[in-house]
């Protein structure tokens, strides 16, 4: 058995950052997935309703990479009340030649946070309006902060408005976003006000009932919805999916099973065989992204195993190059 490299969250934070290079890595993974070259099974999820928690397991084989990752990602939504992060978890990286474990990445959810934010940046790159001044962030958690950072990598933004149900959490998130992005940031008095003033909106919540309905939509608006990653989560009203000029998702089958498309199909507003543009097809240039300043575009990000494999293999390579981690000899 080969030796196994153990990498801590501290190691991995020193190896991977939310920057243009990471966004490119995730974009390339999307292109491989949409091109039909990757192997990605459905998400394995276990719900623990009495604990207000869930555990997801994701994986994918991406040809061209010398490893593949298997990720275990718990989400326990009462954790903030206990002073703990909602998400945690780890990844194992296996060699593609033998399947043997090469490394255990004890990232505590860090790599998931970064790859999720990077996916938002890919969506912004291809779908957000070129001319904009205000970004709306719906949500007050870690991903809300990271999505704002990611968006600002791809578009010039003068102001970020933040809306959340808890005014104190909203004010803190706005303060953190201003510090992280250097853009003026402030809490929005209402969700309607945020939508009216924003040219792009990112929703980053665990909502179970739609937050964005057709009354909040206007010409030229882009929405990235990244909170719906299981059947019971729903941030975007099904009518918005039906009425958007361009609906994009990270993976068609997954969006139809777990994401915003799932709810639109269930409501009978779009057919099960609705034509869908995958984000990777836009990256690869086989499908167009935003083509008109007045288009209303919607991107549903459910989170894919190809993102996990791509960022894990990258992190392991950087860690090896820098001599990070602890080797466990077998």
Residue 168: the pLDDT is: 96
Distance of CA 286 to the CA centre of its chain: 22
Distance of CA 281 to the CA centre of its chain: 17
Query: 248 with 277: CB under 8 angstroms?
Result: yes
Residue 330: the pLDDT is: 73
- Residue by residue, DSSP assigns 67-124 as EEEEEEEEEETTGGGGT--SB--EEEEEETTT--EEEEEE-TTHHHHHHHHHHHHHHH
- The pLDDT profile of the chain, 330 residues, written as one tens digit per residue, is 689 999 999 999 999 999 999 999 999 999 999 999 999 999 999 999 999 999 999 999 999 999 999 999 998 989 988 998 888 999 999 999 999 999 999 999 999 999 999 999 999 999 999 999 999 999 999 999 999 999 999 999 999 999 999 999 999 999 999 999 999 999 999 999 999 999 999 999 989 999 999 999 999 999 999 988 888 899 999 999 999 999 999 999 999 999 999 999 999 999 988 989 999 999 999 999 999 999 999 999 999 999 999 999 999 999 999 999 999 987
Residue 246: the pLDDT is: 97
Question: Nearest 5 degrees, angle CA 321-CA 32-CA 24?
Answer: 50
d(CA 105, CA 91) in angstroms, rounded, equals 5
Label the pairing between strands 4-8 and 101-106: parallel
d(CA 109, CA 119) in angstroms, rounded, equals 15
SS3 call for 141: coil
Fold classified for 129-302: Rossmann fold (3.40.50)
SS3 call for 327: strand
Residue 13: the pLDDT is: 98
Query: Cβ neighbours of residue 275 under 8 Å, at least 6 residues apart?
Result: none
Query: 101 with 94: CB under 8 angstroms?
Result: yes
Tokens of 37: 């070259």
Q: Where are the domains of the chain?
A: 4-112+306-328, 129-302
Residue 80: the pLDDT is: 87
Give helix then strand counts, H and E, for the chain.
Answer: 11, 15
Query: Cβ neighbours of residue 251 under 8 Å, at least 6 residues apart?
Result: 33, 40, 278, 302, 304
Fold classified for 4-112+306-328: ornithine cyclodeaminase, domain 1 (3.30.1780)
């Amino acid at each position: 058995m080969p030796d196994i490299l153990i990498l801590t969250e501290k190691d991995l934070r020193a190896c991977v950052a939310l920057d243009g290079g990471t966004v490119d890595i995730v974009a390339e993974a999307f292109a491989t997935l949409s091109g039909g070259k990757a192997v990605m099974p459905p998400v394995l999820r276990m719900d623990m309703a009495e604990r207000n928690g869930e555990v997801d397991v994701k994986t994918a084989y991406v040809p061209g990479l010398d490893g593949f990752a298997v990720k275990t990602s718990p989400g326990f939504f009462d954790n903030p009340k206990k002073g703990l992060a909602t998400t945690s978890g780890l990844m194992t990286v296996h060699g593609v030649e033998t399947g043997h474990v090469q490394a255990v990445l004890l990232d505590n959810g860090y790599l998931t946070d970064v790859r999720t934010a990077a996916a938002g940046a890919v969506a912004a790159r291809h779908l957000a309006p070129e001319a904009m001044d205000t970004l709306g962030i719906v949500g007050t958690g870690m991903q809300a902060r990271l999505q704002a950072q990611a968006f600002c990598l791809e578009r010039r933004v003068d102001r970020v408005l933040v809306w959340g149900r808890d005014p104190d959490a909203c004010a803190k998130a706005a303060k953190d976003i201003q510090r992280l992005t250097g853009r003026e940031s402030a809490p929005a008095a209402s969700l309607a006000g945020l939508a009216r003033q924003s040219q792009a909106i990112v929703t980053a919540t665990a909502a179970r009932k739609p937050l964005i309905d057709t009354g909040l939509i206007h010409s030229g608006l882009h929405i990235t919805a990244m909170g719906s990653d299981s059947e019971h989560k729903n941030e975007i009203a099904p009518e918005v999916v039906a009425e958007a000029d361009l609906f994009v998702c990270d993976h068609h089958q997954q969006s139809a099973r777990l994401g915003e498309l799932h709810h639109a199909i269930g409501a009978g507003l779009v057919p099960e065989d609705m034509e869908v543009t995958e984000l990777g097809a836009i990256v690869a240039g086989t499908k167009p992204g935003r083509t008109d300043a007045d288009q209303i575009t919607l991107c549903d990000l459910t989170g894919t195993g190809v993102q996990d494999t791509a960022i894990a293999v990258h992190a392991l390579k950087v860690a090896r190059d820098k001599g990070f981690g602890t080797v466990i000899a077998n």
